[in-house]
Structure 1
Amino acid sequence: MQIQDVELVISAVAPMQYPTDGLPEIALTGRSNVGKSSMINKLIQRKKMARTSSTPGKTQTLNFYKLNEAFYFVDVPGYGYAKVSKTDREKFSQMIETYLQERTTLRGVISLIDVRHEPTKDDLAMYDYLKFFGVPVLVVATKGDKVPRGKWNQRESKLKKALQLNQTDDLVIFSSTSGLGGDQIWEWVTAHLPE
């Protein structure tokens, strides 16, 4: 997909701040430091639209990026970062839950995990949570360039097994360095947007 137009519309913490234009939304979730901002920047072909940071846990709001005036990517705060206080963690958790449960324009979630590691308890909990609420999910295993190509199939089947990935959900290995997997992600996004 060619992204001509990108705008960060709002960084929201509560439903009253969400955009009201009714455009469909695809949310992106994942552990802090899993490469969410890098993936967004690669997919939309912008170097610094989504802020990347070497300090995990920097995204603390729901960031609504309007693409081509047609739909939103919603960058959700990363989870599982220990240096965030317990109170802040609970606040993020509540903010994310409210969004995922109540947002009627949400069409699907791209759930990011690190291809090199077993999914964390938080990764498993997020996937189970999305399945419980019947949200369409694409699991994206980031940092594909850090694993030799010969081991991809092995990593993919391990991750699918660990997540107990159901038959309606796909897993894509992605690299924000090479862009590998980007086309498959866009195919999934397009399939989940209204005509």
Structure 2
Amino acid sequence: MDEETAPEKAGYRRSAGSARGEVRRRELLERVTDEVGVNGLVDFSLRRAARAAGTTHKVLLYYFDGPEDLLTQAVLQLRERRIDRSLTAAGLASPTLSGRVLAIWPVLVGEESWVLDQAIGLAMYDPGRYAELARTASTRYLPALISLCPPQWGDERKCEVSEFVLATLRGFLVEWRTSGDGPGIEAGLAALGRALDHEEATV
């Protein structure tokens, strides 16, 4: 039985878990993710995703548990790309924590950021279907921020500071998306940098 004619019920999609099936699933997901990154989440459907992936909606149902699952996986993929770019930017920045954190901001408001903002909005609008989009955000971003903290800090301190940074950057992202107050956000980022410099100087 080939994937074009395979039954759509999840219980029959056993070969999707094979090594070959996983490669195929990742290939399809990459194509759909690229499409979502360009066109956003509005009016997302299996047929639209299938066109982007160069296949049929039945094939996508062979590898994914419906449109919500596929959309969630695509958003998570976009988020991973953003985190990877953020860590790269932070790694090229100054040796201070504030320098590393502030280097992330251009990435957060750069490529595909509007799609990830849509994802959070969708999770707030319809949490019953899309809560996972918001729930996984902290679990993905927090470890990345913790990794930027000075290595001599204890785990509790790293977590506290990272939570503070995450909440602050989220607030700035909402402000940037809703008001576009560039000067105000720049002033806020400068204050965040000073707070982190003070924290790092505290023994």
TM-score by length of 2: 0.28
Q: Which has the larger radius of gyration?
A: 2
| Structure of greater relative contact order (alpha carbons < 8 Å, 6+ residues apart) | 1
TM-score by length of 1: 0.29
Tell me which protein shows more strand as a share of its residues: 1
